[in-house]
A and B are shown apart, each in its own frame.
Chain A
Amino acid sequence: MKLNKVILNNYRQFFSLHEFDFSKKNNKGINIIVAKNGFGKSTIYRAINWCLFNKEPRIKQSQTDTLTQLNDHAEFISKKGDRNEMFVEIQFQDETNDDKIITIKRTASYLKISDQAGNMSSESILADRKIELKYFTKNKGQEIINNDGEVKIFVDAHILNDNLKNFFFFDGEELSEFIQDNKAKSIESDIDVLTGISDIEKTRINLQNWKKNVEKSIPKIMKKGDALREAEKECGRLNSDINSYNKIINGYKERLKELPAKIDELTEFAQADNIAKQLNDSIDEIDKKIEILEIQIEEINRDLNKDIATKFSTLTLQKSLQNFFESVQTEIDNDKLPPPEIKGAKAIEALIDDDNQLSIIDPNDKNKKNIYATVDWKNGINKEDFIKAIKDFNLFAEKQRDSSYKELAQGGYKVSNKLIAANDLKSFEDSCIKGYSKVNRKKDEITKLQSERSKHTRNLDKIDQDKFKDAAKTRIELIEEKDKLEKDLYADEKTLKYKKNDFERAKDKVEKEKKNLNLNSDDEKKLKFINDCLGILAPSIDQARKENLKSISDYFGSTFEKNCHKPYQASINDDFKISVLNDKYKELALPNSKRLSEGETYLAGFSYMLAMKTMTHYNFPFIIDTPLASCDDEYRLSIMTLFANLTSDLTNSHATFLFTPSEYDKNVIEAIDGHVSNHYELGIDENDNATVKKVI
């Protein structure tokens, strides 16, 4: 595909209409535009991109939609209500078919809505945007496409794929940075895009996405399978439960049929046992009563006994006390308490004989006297004095005795009076008789109770208690069993009912899950198909990628090595990294790009781009902005010589270089001399609009 012509109208710096001829003449495949920075060099680069892809490199998409694209001067000089048309038109010629001319024109129209002369703030609005693609074929003649989407498809298919444009439109500095970054992922991606592997890769990704979607339902299938198994398991479990419950319930029912008759059989015995029980209860009750009465008797007796014991002496001697009391009373009344009989003093007096000898008569022989001592009177005291003293003592003793007698009589009198008063025999007697009567009554009561007890015992002896007792116990157990069975039966029948309902539900679930499984069997087929496709695709992609990598690597290596001024070996490794080896030291020059000079880096970049271009069928021309900014003279010569040879060797190849004046030096001129088909110089006028001068 040849780029013949680019026409700009009111596009950014280019006021009114400007036409650039890029057609190849006499196999001269190089176009050059030389312009200082800001003079519109990159604007041409952007204009081509915008026209083809509706995008301007290095400009945000939002700014493309604004008025920035419309030439300021054109807008300024127009009046309110005027329409300004801005467009970029590119003409291509298919070199494989000279008859096929393709023209793409992208237009934006603006309406001036405010007009104040000389006022730069005047405004326009975007009124209309349109695209028009015309192509001419021998068979069909001219055809026009106005739809943006269709134009895009056409451009992608016949002119340049959007994904590949970076291989044809590029900037020297960007290319240098790309080489320095040396990103394996970018290189792999570039190879995929250029060789069409990315399209297959897209297919593979689509297949994988499809697989994921299908697999989303596959787990469901698995779950449904599980659910079916679970449901079947539940069904089995419930069925087993139902059978168990049925057995249990039948057992309950059979037992419940037997029980009433058995209970009835034992009723008579139970009644007899009840009588025995009543008799036993009565006997127990009597025993308790007797016990209580006996305790009561014991208590009464204890009180009586204590009363008798403690009062016995006083009450028995009541009459003597009375006599004593009365005797003392008489003495007191007559005021003559009898004098005491003094014995002691007289006895002592009698012991002293006339001879002043103290002697004691032998009690066994009254006639015999034992002389114990002879009184030796001293201090003038004689026998008479002694006798007198004893007599005085005796008198004193008499008085004392008299006093003691009176005291004893009077004391006893008082106490006896008190005792007589406190121990009234009659009331004591009454109290005791009353107590004994009570005891007797209670004893009678006991006798009566014992008689009753004997009667009960006799009746009880007539009953075979053990037999009846066992029967009654059995009957109670049977009744309890019956009650329990009835309750259990009710509960189990209820449970069985629920179980049956659950079983029905589980059966429905099984059927439902079976249906679900059948419905999803198609998914499994799909998955198999996808896996088959992926099984074929994945290895093919890897294989193709390897083969393409080898071709590119070879081309890259040979181009670089041929033009490099040092004996380096260059290649693209299997890990998609550019490698440049120093031949002498075998040191890795890349990816450590610092070892490469700027010129070598540029050369590597251009070698890479050219290698990539060989892998695509697109013969779109290179459009390279500031290609040699940082290159030294030698590499400028080498690189431009490379392109000069390339464009002349390959009939379909051509390239447009957008140089700054400093780049466009004698080396460049020398290298491309004789290969330039069109040469333009851009300037700028007083209105800041670009001026175009065609040199060649």
Chain B
Amino acid sequence: MALFLERNFRTDDLIEDAIWKKIREHEYIEEYLTDNIDISLMVAAYAFKKAKHDRKQLSKINTNGGWLQSLSKSQKNKVKNEERIDNAITLMLAIAVEDRGDLDILKESTNDIQSISEEYANAGAEEFYNLILKSESAEIFYKELFELITS
């Protein structure tokens, strides 16, 4: 089964260069995660956990947040990619349902479902980046994330 979303993960263009780009290119991140969608979802998850219901509507759309089309360009990695896309969409579904409190969101367009995750991610990007900056090492940064997981 391949879940289907129509567009890329969006970031706010106003903070794209100032925050998103720096997050993606920071050594703590770049060494472990290479796909934008993984990074975007990491930030979305961080934000959702840290500041529930604190969403921020995108003031200007940027589509660098990650590729989400279900069809893989690489037939070789098709299954693996489909699985990754399914995982990502499921995480967004989970955020959307958790955010709404019921499944009604599924009745709306998939764009709406996706927008909820995007809004979380863009709302928490700055804080996430600050966490990176204040961490003296990757070890400290990930320890923080680990504590967040287990909290």
Contacts and interface: CB of A to CB of B under 8 A. Distances in A.
A94 B41 CA distance: 166
Interface in A295-328: 301-302, 304-306, 308-317, 319-321, 323-324, 327-328
B143 A338 contact: no
B113 to A, nearest CB: 8
B94 A316 contact: no
Size class of A's contact patch?
35 or more
A408 interface: yes
Interface string B56-99: 00000000000000000000000000000011011101110110
Contacts of B150: 425, 429
B93 A315 contact: no
Given A308-B145, A338-B103, A341-B107, A316 B139 contact: no
B45 interface: yes
Nearest to A341: B107
A408 B87 contact: no
A305 B132 CA distance: 13
B90 A321 contact: yes
Contacts of B91: 313-314, 317, 320-321, 419
What range describes how many residues of B lie at the interface? 35 or more
Contact of B107 (A314, A327, A405): A405
A310 B33 contact: yes
Interface in A513-536: none
Contacts, number: 125
Interface stretch (A409-417, A472-480, A644-652): A409-417
B94 A320 contact: yes
B97 A415 contact: no
A331 interface: yes
Contact of A408 (B104, B106, B139): B106
A316 B95 contact: no
A607 to B, nearest CB: 136
B102 to A, nearest CB: 7
Contacts of A408: 3, 93, 106, 110
B104 to A, nearest CB: 6
B15 interface: no
Contacts of B108: 341
Nearest to A311: B149
B44 interface: yes
A57 interface: no
A327 B146 CA distance: 28
B38 interface: yes
Contact of B139 (A305, A306, A312, A425): A305
B97 A327 contact: yes
Contacts of A401: 107
A317 B117 CA distance: 12
7 contacts: A305-B28, A313-B42, A313-B45, A319-B98, A320-B95, A327-B102, A338-B104
Question: Lowest 5 A-B CB distances belong to which pairs?
Answer: A309-B32, A415-B90, A320-B98, A320-B94, A316-B45
